[in-house]
Amino acid sequence: MRMRILVVLSAALFLFVTSGAPRAFAHGEAADEPFLKDLTVAFYDVHISPTAIKVGEPVTITGTVKILETWPYTLDPPQTAYITPVVPGPVFALVDREVNGTPTPGSILVDKGQTYHFKMVMRGRDPGNWHVHPGIAIQGTGTLIGPGEWVRVAPSAEPFKMDVTLLTGQTVNLEHYGGSFVWWWSFAGFVIGMVWMVYWTVPKRTVTRLAVTTQIPVNDDAPDIGLITPRDHMWMDVLAGVTIAMLIVGWVYMAVKFPVRLPQQTVRFTPDVVDPTTHPAQVIKANSTFDDRTDTLSIDLTIKNNGTTPLSLKQYIMAMATFVNGSKEEQAKAGPAHYVGPMQVEPDTPIQPGEIGKVQLKISSPLFDEERLIPLHDPQERIAGLLRFTDPQGHEDLVTLRTDLVPTEFRPQYLP
Ligand SMILES: [Cu+2]
């Protein structure tokens, strides 16, 4: 009776889950804890274009990611990382990647405080509407993602092709190269395994009389009940022989068909430092508050200008979001629209060389909630990001800001 209720309940749950499922479009980006987004990296100047292509055509992702000095001590220090497009499955093929101007086929060696300018070119493989982000996968931590953009890939008259020229001069289409051989060879191995499994389970009593067979010690053929016969040994020897023959055939085939081989290449390097390591702007003091009811972040800053030109505060960059003190055009240029918002700076006057200025930033944005950027119920209420200053000559200075955050108002649902 209880069993029947369980079956009915799970069937109902199955129907509920499968029928009412809305289309999933995010990558679980909001699921990451706020500290994992804010204190680790900051993405800015991300551009993904074009946003409508046909199968086979290129999409270019450019942008910058800085591994912040505020990297949390609770995570392994960042050492090996991989800058990558984050897309739903192999719907694009990456064909080119550069980090700080150097071709980067694989992982790079990274450090806290360093800035990485990336450019990735990928070609549309499967038609569909895909959300494309840049991301940085850091060993021991996981993939941290930047701002994303929808890219529509329309079908093309020609199927997807990915021609590459080998060192031997031969051109192969990677989309299908060696595909049927790999399929049939794996299938041959699968058949041997299936024969073995069916042999011992279907005609034999090994499984159907489990109560008996589990009583027999290991390595006991149990000849008195006819469990494993000499004939069985003979057939198992045949299967083992076929497996070894397959391996030998495989080695000989590889040696004859591909006389020139190279081991898989690992190109791992530390990208050149291309950003200035000294900063004219210095954060002397920072206090911040967050009003959860209006999604408003306020930061009181005391900034010293150690440089020789006046500095104006133009942006605050936090995880994958950029907040801009500027016109609508300046906001549009800052990155994918969904991840950009306005910022008020009070007073909005440049800080003169040698001077110490006090400014207040005010940012009201639904992104704080949507992308879960603000730690409101964490043991450490701490945020970090990049303050972006410019001088009249257009030089920029990006400095890391870390501040402990005081929540001022909570949404009603959090109240007891
Ligand atoms: Cu996405």
Give 223-261 as a 3 state SS string.
HHHCCCCHHHHHHHHHHHHHHHHHHHHHHHHHHHHCCCC
Burial of 94 (C-beta count, 10 Å sphere; 0-12/13-18/19+): middle
For the stretch 194-227, pLDDT in tens is 999 999 888 887 777 788 878 888 888 887 777 7
Among residues of the chain, what percentage have pLDDT more than 90? 73
For 379, which DSSP code? S
pLDDT at 17 over 70: no
> What's the pLDDT score for residue 357?
93
- Residue 377 corresponds to which amino acid? H
pLDDT band (50, 70, 90) for residue 260 = confident
Question: How many whole angstroms from 122 Cα to the centroid of ligand 1?
Answer: 16
Question: Which residues are registered as beta bridge partners of 130?
Answer: 151
Question: How many whole angstroms from 149 Cα to the centroid of ligand 1?
Answer: 7
Question: How many whole angstroms from 110 Cα to the centroid of ligand 1?
Answer: 25
Residues 6 or more apart whose Cβ sits within 8 Å of residue 270: 108, 109, 110, 111
> Regarding beta strands 108-109 and 80-86, do their DSSP bridges make them parallel or antiparallel, or are they unpaired?
antiparallel
Residue 210, H or E segment: helix 210-213
> Regarding beta strands 92-99 and 52-54, do their DSSP bridges make them parallel or antiparallel, or are they unpaired?
unpaired
Nearest one of 209, 240, 236 to 222, comparing CA atoms: 209
> What's the pLDDT score for residue 168?
87
CB 374, CB 297: distance < 8 Å: yes
Both tokens of 139, joined, read 């060993």
For the stretch 331-371, pLDDT in tens is 999 999 999 999 999 999 999 999 999 999 999 999 998 88
Residue that the structure tokens 């083992």 belong to: 240
Helix (H, G, I), strand (E, B), or coil: what is residue 392? coil
> Regarding beta strands 321-324 and 340-342, do their DSSP bridges make them parallel or antiparallel, or are they unpaired?
parallel
State the Cα torsion 186-191-196-199 to the nearest 10°. Answer: 170
Burial of 264 (C-beta count, 10 Å sphere; 0-12/13-18/19+): exposed
Question: How many whole angstroms from 68 Cα to the centroid of ligand 1?
Answer: 23
Q: State the average pLDDT for the chain.
A: 90
Question: How many whole angstroms from 57 Cα to the centroid of ligand 1?
Answer: 21
> What's the pLDDT score for residue 224?
79
pLDDT at 409 over 90: no
Backbone φ, ψ for residue 113 (5° rounding): 85, -5
Question: How many whole angstroms from 220 Cα to the centroid of ligand 1?
Answer: 57
- Residue 278 corresponds to which amino acid? T
